[in-house]
Structure 1
Amino acid sequence: MKTLIVDDERLARKELMSLLEPHKKIDVVGEATDVDDAIEKINELNPDLIFLDIQMPGKSGFDLLESLDHVPRVIFTTAYDEFALKAFEVNALDYLLKPVQPERLEEAIAKLHVESDRNPSPTDAEKRSLGKDDQVFVKDGDKCWFVKLADVRLFESDGNYIKVYFGGNKPMIHKSLNALDERLDDRTFFRASRKHIINLGWVENIDTWFNGGLLVQLKGGEKIEVSRRQAARFKERMSL
């Protein structure tokens, strides 16, 4: 598993590399000292896993994750306050408090192997589009989530932001719907209108609507109008 270590502290990077040596399935292919360096290395190396520090000069580990379309598997390595960690601890693969203890590292890697067996890493070609098995990082205020796209039922445009619907959550991200639409796999996601992209796997009911359009109800309860222009494509996609 190609692995990148992102940490501004040289000694922390070296210590982690030493701790990882006995784990033969972890192949450390690079180190990054800050967010900009990490973005460059991620684009160059396409790692499957990132060991990521949170507090770094300039930009944080959260800033890095927000800048990525496709988020590799992430294990946090941080001295971050335990209470702040509660914002994302149930969503991250794992987090390790510094100084990293060998037994906690083993637990994290064990979780990684279980998760990898369930969801093999996509190939470089598959990473070009975002499909249902990909995960994205969503941050809204103090709350953070790693969200599998299969669990996102709806993207809704709201000015310069997008509201992301998953579970009982509706956080906002700063991105245009057009830019997102270009990255999403059209086998899973459908541009229903100027304001909405829906996950086809979450469609529950379909009714005819005004002017030749359709009204789609999602399993989360949302009702989305499919424009007349898109209705024919939607019927073809859903084999109506």
Structure 2
Amino acid sequence: MDNNPVYTAIIVDDEAPARSIIRHYLGRHANVEVIGECANGFDAIKMVRDLNPNLMFLDIQMPKVSGLELLEVLEDAPQVIFTTAYDEYALKAFELNAVDYLLKPFSLERFDAALNKALERLAGGLPAQRPPVEEIRNENPEKLNRIVVKKGSSISVIPVSDILFLEAQEEYVMIYSGQGRFMKHQTMHYYESHLPENEFVRIHRSYIANITKISKLEPYDKDSYIAVMPPDHRLRISRTGYRKLREKLGF
């Protein structure tokens, strides 16, 4: 009797031929069962939640949400093998603790080598732990133009221009936007250094404000002010934050 475990896998790629190749290669491995496939990150997050796969083959460049952004918002990610036509994301992929990074077009031998590494991890019970996103991106100082967030089983993409302000919440940050409010497991320091500095100012240790959304400033007491933002948010401004605002707004 064969007691070898059977592991489950899903395939996430916006190109049907790419998914077909991976499915064909996996068909040679009796100990891996493909239980789902999809073409975008929005469907993938629901599939991971509903099917709880052991392994995910994940493309990086996909419409709406990239593979890297998807991995940011997955709380219990499976072991991940990235499959992509672009080599510039390899460092980020391995910093996310990916099992491997397959550059399209990849051979059967290269695929099998990556799969074997994943199966070794699974057999050893190794978790698919990932470091905080700010550690991943500190070496890549480009400014954010959007933030991918998750609420329940759905993913939303928020343009930074739609953000009103961010509020510190212990180990999390609450993002307030025109689409609602969303929690991210990141730091204020991360957003302070990655949001466009011509639009966002750290006005208080608890707040980063989009200065284009401030409707007015009101006195709070003798030496401090309140930033009024739509629809009815009133944010404390520290002395340092007020000085930054004056420099930025030129008053």
2:153 pairs with 1:159? no
User: Cα deviation per residue 1:66-90 (whole Å; 9 max; x = unaligned)?
Assistant: 1111111000011122x43123336
Please report the TM-score for the alignment, with normalisation by the length of structure 2. 0.51
Question: Whole-Å Cα distance in 2 between the matches of residues 98 and 108 of structure 1?
Answer: 13
Task: For residue 4 of structure 1, give the secondary structure of its aligned residue in structure 2.
Answer: strand
Displacement over 3 Å in runs of 4+ = 160-163
2:120 pairs with 1:111? no
Q: Could you say which residue in structure 2 is the equivalent of 1:48?
A: 54
Q: Could you say which residue in structure 2 is the equivalent of 1:89?
A: 94
Conserved? CA contact 1:69–1:136, under 8 Å: no
- Identify if the C-alpha distance between structure 1 residues 38 and 116 changes in structure 2 by more than 3 Å, giving closer, same or farther: same
Of 64, 68, 90, which residue of structure 1 is paired with 2:74?
A: 68
Task: For residue 19 of structure 1, give the secondary structure of its aligned residue in structure 2.
Answer: helix
Q: Could you say which residue in structure 1 is the equivalent of 2:195?
A: none
Of 52, 57, 64, which residue of structure 1 is paired with 2:63?
A: 57
Conserved? CA contact 2:9–2:34, under 8 Å: yes
Conserved? CA contact 1:16–1:100, under 8 Å: no
Quick check: 25-34 or 88-97, which moved more?
Answer: 88-97
Query: Gaps spanning 5+ residues in structure 1: where?
Result: 121-132, 145-157, 164-172, 178-240
Point out the structure with max Rg over C-alpha: 2
Q: Could you say which residue in structure 2 is the equivalent of 1:229?
A: none
Amino acid of the structure 2 residue aligned with 1:88: A
Question: Whole-Å Cα distance in 1 between the matches of residues 20 and 139 of structure 2?
Answer: 31
Task: For residue 159 of structure 1, give the secondary structure of its aligned residue in structure 2.
Answer: strand
Task: For residue 93 of structure 2, give the secondary structure of its aligned residue in structure 1.
Answer: coil
Query: Gaps spanning 5+ residues in structure 2: where?
Result: 1-6, 141-166, 173-182, 188-251
- Identify if the C-alpha distance between structure 1 residues 70 and 10 changes in structure 2 by more than 3 Å, giving closer, same or farther: same
Amino acid of the structure 2 residue aligned with 1:116: L
Of 3, 20, 28, which residue of structure 2 is paired with 1:14?
A: 20
- Identify if the C-alpha distance between structure 1 residues 34 and 92 changes in structure 2 by more than 3 Å, giving closer, same or farther: same
Amino acid of the structure 2 residue aligned with 1:23: H
Conserved? CA contact 1:6–1:34, under 8 Å: yes
Q: Could you say which residue in structure 1 is the equivalent of 2:185?
A: 175
Question: Whole-Å Cα distance in 2 between the matches of residues 118 and 68 of structure 1?
Answer: 22
Question: Whole-Å Cα distance in 2 between the matches of residues 28 and 73 of structure 1?
Answer: 14
Aligned length: 142
2:84 pairs with 1:78? yes
Conserved? CA contact 2:80–2:99, under 8 Å: yes
